[in-house]
Amino acid sequence: MDRPHVVIVGAGFGGLAAAKQLTGTDVDVTIVDQHNYHGFSPLLYQVATAGLAPDDIAQNIRGIFQLSANVDVRQSRVTGIDSSWANAASSPNRTARTLTA
């Protein structure tokens, strides 16, 4: 029997929390985000004034899950979701691609 596959759209606080809860479980997880980093922009002013280093407010998403065998990260922009077929369509660099959920 195939393992369940969860597609998480967006690597904000909610998306990262959901993926972390599913890390190490018997579920395949794909995170799709248009950026390759998770950032906390309210602290940008502290970086600008040298109060914080840039690494303190932004982390590479793949780096967060590099030790998670069941989590895959894809940099892409989701353009639509077809719930009847359980597909998420994305278009990185204007090339359509379908992610099967």
pLDDT value at residue 48: 77
pLDDT over 90 at 71, yes or no: yes
Q: What is the pLDDT of residues 14-24, one digit of tens each?
A: 999 999 999 99
- How many independent structural domains does the chain possess? 1
- Residue 90's CATH number: 3.50.50.60
pLDDT over 50 at 76, yes or no: yes
Distance CA 7, CA 17 (A): 13
CA distances from 17 to 36, 84, 96 (A): 16, 26, 28
Q: What is the pLDDT of residues 45-69, one digit of tens each?
A: 676 777 767 666 667 888 889 999 9
The amino acid that residue 97 corresponds to is: R
Domain of residue 60: give its range.
5-100
